[in-house]
Amino acid sequence: MRYPPAAMATITVLGAGMMGSALCVPLVDRGHDVRLVGTHLDTAIIDSLKERHVHPTLRLELPAAIRPYAAEELPAAMEGAELVVFGVSSAGIGWATETIAPFARPEVPIVMITKGLWLHEGRLAVLPDAVQRGLPEAVRRAVVPAAIAGPCIAGELARRVPTCVVVTGRDAATLARLTEVLRGPYYHVFPCADVVGAEVCAALKNAYAMGVAFGAGLHEKAGGAPGSVAMHNWESAVFAQAIREMMRIVALLGGDPLTVTGLPGVGDLDVTMNGGRTGRFGRWLGLGLGVAASIERMEGATLECLEILAVMRKGLAVYEARGELQPGELPLLRQMMAVALDGAPLEMPFERFFAG
């Protein structure tokens, strides 16, 4: 794998949503040449950045050094690019791969902050593998997409709050290069060779954070206020069961269960239930608003938790049919599917937790 000799790089970020845009801040602070390309859904964001350097969703003025490009300006944004970052949601990963394919080069690594899983040929697989399969055959073996995972609230990163994440990938040279390029004074990046473990955690934490956050809504629904006496016992039990289930799923898919105990698992679950959009969504469900009303409250924000629950429902059926997973396993995940996908009553099967 060939890389630019200098530490500074020309980086093209595809996707001008909150996380893609926030990541640009530590990159320009490090001295990189950063081009932020919006999707067809990001027109208003790109226009605002071009006019005033203000990101309307982050509600923050971003550094003027970040150069915004509209979707149709991608060819110009890709000129001289030495690294490509996918900042789209999981629903847009197919579009992003197809869009970047004509510009893919063996010497240009791809790293993604997209979270999700996909069901491929009867197995649940991680998104970097999906991206690699979608690249032109001429570069497919040379470009091994990597991914960033771990606890990171976009609004905090954009405001330079110290943040610790991992970058994970299967190509050792790419991983070493990305660790050096991405890290900065307040953006601390650690290499992780367990792609499956890190990426499964990155996807599942969205669903499980919703489940933990039910507790805050239930407490408020009962007339309670935030404090030292609330539903913390309830939430902690759900959190612990979530970690157990994530470890089981990681092992099932071929990753290292211990990865769940680090930044991609415990760390990201904590930050998502406390400060992420999935935590807000779970709280509204706990309040009894129902799925449709809770989605409306999100004002168009992407809900990766619903997408991962839908994928996992299909996947679990396949694994059960092969006898690799028993119907009684993963009771918390199954209950969250029932609540968020089917509108079932919000009841936690605590008696089925922590078994075996």
Crossing angle, helix 331-342 and helix 304-321, to 10 degrees?
A: 130
Per DSSP, 62 falls in state P
255 carries a ligand binding annotation: no
Cα 330 from Cα 336, distance rounded (Å): 10
133 carries a ligand binding annotation: no
- The residue among 21, 15, 13, 93 whose CA lies nearest residue 57 is 21
Q: Give the E-state strand segments of 280-325 in sequence order.
A: none
20 carries a ligand binding annotation: yes
Strand 10-14, strand 33-37: pairing: parallel
Which residues are paired to 111 by β-bridges?
85, 146
CB atoms within 10 A of CB 155: 16
Strand order of the sheet with strand 110-112?
A: 67-69, 33-37, 10-14, 83-86, 110-112, 146-149, 163-168, 187-192
273 carries a ligand binding annotation: no
Q: In this structure, what token pair is assigned to residue 216?
A: 């805050």
210 carries a ligand binding annotation: no
Apex 322 CA angle, 319 and 323, nearest 5: 90
Q: In this structure, what token pair is assigned to residue 129?
A: 């593998």
50 tagged catalytic = no
154 carries a ligand binding annotation: yes
18 carries a ligand binding annotation: yes
Catalytic residue (choose from 115, 205, 221, 314)? 205
Residue 154, C-beta contacts closer than 8 angstroms, at least 6 positions apart: 18, 19, 21, 22, 58
CB atoms within 10 A of CB 356: 5
- The residue among 308, 101, 106 whose CA lies nearest residue 199 is 308
Residues designated as active site: 205
Q: What are the binding residues for NAD(+)?
A: 15-20, 154, 277
